[in-house]
Amino acid sequence: MKKILLSLLIVLLISLPFIVKSQYFLSLMITLFIYVVLAESWNLLGGYTGQVSLGHGAFFGVGSLVTRLLWINKVPILLSLPLGGLAAALLAAIVGIPCFRMRLAYFPIGTLALSMIALLTVSNIFIAAGALSPKLLKSYEIFSRYYLALFIVIVTIIIIYYLIRSRPGLAIVAIRDNEKAAAAIGIKTLKYKTLALLISTFLAGSAGGIYAFQHVSYYYDAPFDLTWSFTPPLTTFIGGISTIAGPIVGSICFLALSEIFAVTLGEVHVLIFGFCFILIVLFLPGGLLSIKTGSHVKKF
Amino acid sequence: MDKRRFFLRAVKAGIVSILAFMVVIGFYGLSLAAPAAPATIKLGCVIPLTGPVSIGGSWIKQGYDIAVKHINADGGVFLKEFNKKIPLEIIYQDNESNPRKTAERMEKLYSLDKVHFFLGGFAQFLIVPQLAVAEKYEVPFIGTTLGSTAEFSRGYKYTFTPFQSEQDQVIAFLDVLDSIPKNQRPLKIAFFEIQEEWGEASGKYLQQFSKERGYQIVTQEKYAIASNDFSSLIVKAKSDGAEALYTNPTPPQGIRLVKQMKELNWNSKITCIMRAADVEAWTENLGKDGDYILHEGGWDFHLKLPGVQKFNEDYRAAYKLNPTPPAGSAYACIQIFADAINRAGTLDPKKVRDAIAATNMMTIMGPMTFAPNGRGQGKYLRLMAQWQKGKDELVWPPDQASAPLLFPTPPWNER
Amino acid sequence: MLQTLAYGILNGLLYSIIALGISLVFGVMRYLNIAHGSLIILGSYGSLYLFYFKLDPFISLPILMVSLFLAGIILFKLLYSNFVRLAEELRIQKSLLVSFGLMLVIEHGATMVWTSDEKSITPFYSGMSFEVFSGFYVPFIGLAGGILAIIVIIALHLFFSRTYFGKSVIAVSQDPEGASLMGVNVKRAFLISFGLSVCLGAIPSVLIGLQAFSPSVGITWFNKGIVVVMLGGLGNIYGVFPAGLFLGIVEAISVFFFGAPYREITGLVIFVLVLILFPKGLFGRIPE
């Protein structure tokens, strides 16, 4: 039953641009895909490995920056985007791994600091906006962007699904549940944490690449904004941490709610969004998925 | 327990309906083409209605709304194609002071609301993304609070702004300095450069034009947008013997800067604080410490130009304040659109675009034409205002000034 | 350079007091209150209003402290009391989420009431400074703030070590179950601690109010505060003072090596380096 629903959903998503021609809607879907990829990537590190990172904005931003710079300089997007992801993972290798030395409780704020450093540095260095030339603008169309984003979402979910069910996945979850115990039974915790980190940041960087491909003009520090660091954990917490569906559900609700409010409610929309947000947090302790499962047990 | 279960079910239902709603919005996008003579000329405008710069968004909206009211009072804009007057209508969307959402909401205006033309929002960092979207769809765009020359050097054809450029701002400042009698004229200028496009460009032009006119930039120091401590810059300016200051801080930075100048007892003889000192709140917040500061926001309500008085009256009646500079330049944007659409006689984007490029009219910003890159050119784009005794006075150019320039600024301990 | 250093020290003390409120709440009940910065800004608006009624911000400080204390208690009861019983990591998560929502509400509510326009309190002594020696000025307001900060730390120390209630708060922060077994009303301790933390925010409210503020700057100050909390070490309330000074001084010194635009960045980089080299923070003693 589940498999049928899932395949129907995929068919729907693939055929969407032919059914709905509105650029606005497709653009929104792409943004949703970015949110989902980012949230899933965050969840790999935060939900499944237990390392709550508040710095994913830095990796998202780096992926976006590298992809954009390469693409504007005639490197085809199918190459620029993975290179953006690699750049993000490289950054993670250099600064993220040392951060594992921090005590668990400090890791979030340490990574938040990384995100802030990235934002401030890029703001200072890249002052001009990265707008597309008239030639690139003329060649802009939404289909390629949509399908690329959809492809990346599907690949991301597949990667995470199989990773969690593999042997490294078991190690990762063991680390989350009790790092000391895991080390005691011989799991090389640093190796697996690093694995999770690198995959997670590669995916986050790829999400950044989609952003770079999607937007026609933005100041280079826009994808480094701290909201990109806060939103993935927020949506994942809301949707249900440590599940594959959690980040997806959380992202959909977060984005849908804020868009709909913004488009229909006028000046009070963020205020109302804030209230709804608080209500959801207070009354749904396990995240939205707990409505179905009825518990706050962490699931695979 | 029952209540909770019910609530949970309600939330679940809510979520399902939200998802359904999204699909519905998508299908709505399939709506049919517009009928022959549209009921209104739709102008799409994405502005910050919420978020950190929402106050600026409200000023722009005020200017647009009054302008539309004036034009529609007569029935609207006459279009030869339909042989009748059609009223203007602005559809606003909030961008929450967020650049990414700016582009998205413009997409909505274009796809769903089917706007004919775009109006700019507020603040350069929010408007720059809009330029590319307008160009992508080849829809004419007129916006204000956009001083950047770089953003108009990309070869875009559909974007226009009547607003003064960075060069105009710097030249206005130097013109004011030039007007001071030679024996009192400050020749050593300090420039505090904010780390954003506007700051960098202003620095470039200030260096270039100062050299031509015999001034010297003795201090050029950078600061970040996030920074709120200017002590090191002020100390350097003091020790370099600077007598004048030019800078473009954000509003909170501007306040902090002046307070630190006083704490560190730096007596600059003439100080120009762009952007931060534009607001009415400047004098509310700083009291007499805010006096003598020069600033410039693109337009000034003291201008003795056609239409200004009517605009001032309507603005004061509606909002109980003196018209802010962005409101004035926003009003001019609508004037230009109305004129261009009328001359084009049609709503066809390309023809309106060409009409805008050929603009040669009087607006409340003065006579206006456009350079090939879309930047406005006009006699009264180089203005300077100064806070005097808690009131904002226009001090440059002399033929429009409401009060003479107060120079030099008295030292702190003599005020 | 001395001048910038002076400002750096005064800034550092400001960061410390902000961090104090955050650290108190985290240390006692493992809640992370992101809205702390926004609450401080709310206090600044309060101070501004009292100023309109001709009350100097320093004089109206006690009124502000009491109001914020009450506000803290009300907020705690409304929002934070449900998940007092949850496991520690869930508590951090939940409090993070709730305070995020609260921050949105406060920020946008404040924008609706007061617009996003900048505000600043400028009493007659604004800008006054003592010229200690030629070219070196100590600003009056900054100095007053610094002295206040020192008074607060002394008062807090006395509170925690001499009063029954203070000692019970420390007990609760170390071991809630043990404390309740000893007869401490844990729930009340949480309630009062939260109120106290917001109340402590009144001091930064005044100091920031005397600089410049608008509804959206809350998170910026929070970021500074949380960095200081981590630097000083979680679970150690007194650690925030040396940590705050450290951050302020590092920022000031960095101006001379890297230039003004890199001030904040250097502070953050040093912060990350410190955490990497001293995983528990400079003085931390958080239980694992």
Tens-place pLDDT, residues B174-200: 999 999 999 999 999 999 999 888 999
Does residue C287 sit within a domain? no
Strands (E), C46-173: 129-133, 136-139
Which pLDDT tens digit goes with each residue over B201-210?
999 999 999 9
Judging contacts by C-beta atoms under 8 Å, the chain B residues touching residue C7 are 229, 231
Higher pLDDT, B171 or A181: B171
C3:B53 CB<8 A: no
Whose tokens are 């703001």? That residue is A123
For residue C184, is pLDDT > 80? no
Output the pLDDT for position C93. Answer: 76
| Alpha-carbon distance A57 to nearest alpha carbon in chain C (angstroms) | 15
Which among C117, C129, C212 has CB closest to B256?
C212
For residue B28, is pLDDT > 60? no
| Alpha-carbon distance C285 to nearest alpha carbon in chain B (angstroms) | 32
A105:C286 CB<8 A: yes
Which pLDDT tens digit goes with each residue over B108-133?
999 889 999 999 999 888 998 899 99
Q: Is residue A122 less than 8 Å (CB to CB) from chain C?
A: no
Judging contacts by C-beta atoms under 8 Å, the chain C residues touching residue B222 are 259-261
For residue C244, is pLDDT > 70? yes
- Among the residue ranges A151-155, A219-223, B309-313, B362-366, the one predicted with the least confidence is A219-223
- Count of domains for chain C: 1
Output the pLDDT for position B19. Answer: 60
For residue B15, is pLDDT > 70? no
Average pLDDT over residues C30-36: 88
For residue B225, is pLDDT > 90? no
Q: Mutate which of A54, A116, A127 to disrupt the C interface (most C C-beta within 10 Å)? A: A116
Output the pLDDT for position B35. Answer: 44
Output the average pLDDT for chain B: 89
Chain B residue with CA closest to A212: the answer is B100
Q: Mutate which of C54, C122, C130, C257 to disrupt the B interface (most B C-beta within 10 Å)? A: C122
Which among B251, B284, B289 has CB closest to C126?
B289
A280:B11 CB<8 A: yes
**If pLDDT is split at 50, 70 and 90, which confidence band does C288 have?**
very low
Does residue C285 sit within a domain? no
Q: Is residue A270 less than 8 Å (CB to CB) from chain C?
A: yes
Higher pLDDT, C222 or B20: C222
C272:A114 CB<8 A: yes
**If pLDDT is split at 50, 70 and 90, which confidence band does C28 have?**
confident
Q: Mutate which of A137, A142, A277 to disrupt the B interface (most B C-beta within 10 Å)? A: A137
Which pLDDT tens digit goes with each residue over C36-59?
999 999 999 999 999 988 888 888
C234:A106 CB<8 A: yes
| Alpha-carbon distance A25 to nearest alpha carbon in chain C (angstroms) | 26
Residues 209-248 of A with CB under 8 A from B: 215-219, 222, 227
Average pLDDT over residues B375-395: 93
Chain A residue with CA closest to C228: the answer is A109
Output the average pLDDT for chain A: 86
End-to-end alpha carbon distance in chain B: 69
Chain B residue with CA closest to A253: the answer is B15
Which among A98, A103, A121 has CB closest to C286?
A103
Which among C108, C227, C265 has CB closest to A109?
C227
Which pLDDT tens digit goes with each residue over A197-208?
999 999 999 999
Q: Which domain holds residue C103?
A: 2-277
Percent of chain C past pLDDT 90, that is, above it, reads 27
pTM of the shown model: 0.88
| Alpha-carbon distance C240 to nearest alpha carbon in chain B (angstroms) | 21
Output the pLDDT for position B7. Answer: 58
Which among A102, A267, A273 has CB closest to C112?
A267
Does residue C209 sit within a domain? yes
For C23-76, the three-class secondary structure string (H helix, E strand, C coil) is HHHHHHHCCCCCCHHHHHHHHHHHHHHHHHCCCCCCCCHHHHHHHHHHHHHHHH
Residues 224-283 of C with CB under 8 A from B: 251-252, 255-256, 259-264
A215:B129 CB<8 A: yes
Judging contacts by C-beta atoms under 8 Å, the chain A residues touching residue B202 are none
CB–CB contacts below 8 A, A to B: 144
Output the pLDDT for position B20. Answer: 60
Output the pLDDT for position B316. Answer: 95
A127:B196 CB<8 A: yes
- Residue C110, helix vs strand vs coil: helix
Higher pLDDT, B334 or A101: B334
Average pLDDT over residues C254-264: 84
Q: Mutate which of B3, B5, B8, B61 to disrupt the A interface (most A C-beta within 10 Å)? A: B8
For residue B25, is pLDDT > 70? no
Average pLDDT over residues C271-277: 87
Q: Mutate which of C30, C78, C83, C230 to disrupt the A interface (most A C-beta within 10 Å)? A: C230
Average pLDDT over residues A134-157: 90
Does residue C253 sit within a domain? yes
Report how far apart, in Å, the C-alpha atoms of B162 and of each of A133, A193, B143, B357, B374 are: 22, 55, 7, 11, 8
Output the pLDDT for position A141. Answer: 87
CB–CB contacts below 8 A, B to C: 118
Which pLDDT tens digit goes with each residue over A273-282?
888 888 887 8
Does residue C284 sit within a domain? no
Q: Tell me the CATH number at C21.
A: 1.10.3470
For residue C159, is pLDDT > 90? no
For residue A241, is pLDDT > 60? yes
| ipTM passes above 0.85 | yes
Chain B residue with CA closest to A116: the answer is B226
Which pLDDT tens digit goes with each residue over B36-45?
678 899 999 9
Output the pLDDT for position B138. Answer: 94
Average pLDDT over residues B13-28: 56
Output the pLDDT for position A35. Answer: 95
Does residue C228 sit within a domain? yes
Q: Where are the domains of chain A?
A: 22-225
Higher pLDDT, B290 or A50: B290
For residue C68, is pLDDT > 70? yes
C230:A110 CB<8 A: yes
For residue B31, is pLDDT > 90? no
Q: Mutate which of C236, C268, C278 to disrupt the A interface (most A C-beta within 10 Å)? A: C268
Neighbours of chain C (3+ CB pairs under 8 A): A, B
Q: Which amino acid is at C201?
A: G
For chain B, the three-class secondary structure string (H helix, E strand, C coil) is CHHHHHHHHHHHHHHHHHHHHHHHHHHHCCCCCCCCCCCCEEEEEEECCCCCCHHHHHHHHHHHHHHHHHHHHCCCEEECCCCEEECEEEEEEECCCCHHHHHHHHHHHHHCCCCCEEECCCCHHHHHHHHHHHHHHCCCEECCCCCCCHHHCCCCCCEEECCCCHHHHHHHHHHHHHCCCCCCCCCEEEEEEECCHHHHHHHHHHHHHHHHHCCEEEEEEEECCCCCCCHHHHHHHHHHCCCEEEECCCHHHHHHHHHHHHHCCCCCCEEEECCHHHCCHHHHHHHHHHCCEEECCCCCCCCCCCCHHHHHHHHHHHHCCCCCHHHHHHHHHHHHHHHHHHHHCCCCHHHHHHHHHCCCEEECCEEEEECCCCEEECCCCCCEEEEECCEEEEEECCCCCCCCCCCCCCCHHHC
Which DSSP state fits C133? E
Average pLDDT over residues C87-100: 79
Q: Is residue C223 less than 8 Å (CB to CB) from chain B?
A: no
For residue B77, is pLDDT > 90? yes
A25:B26 CB<8 A: yes
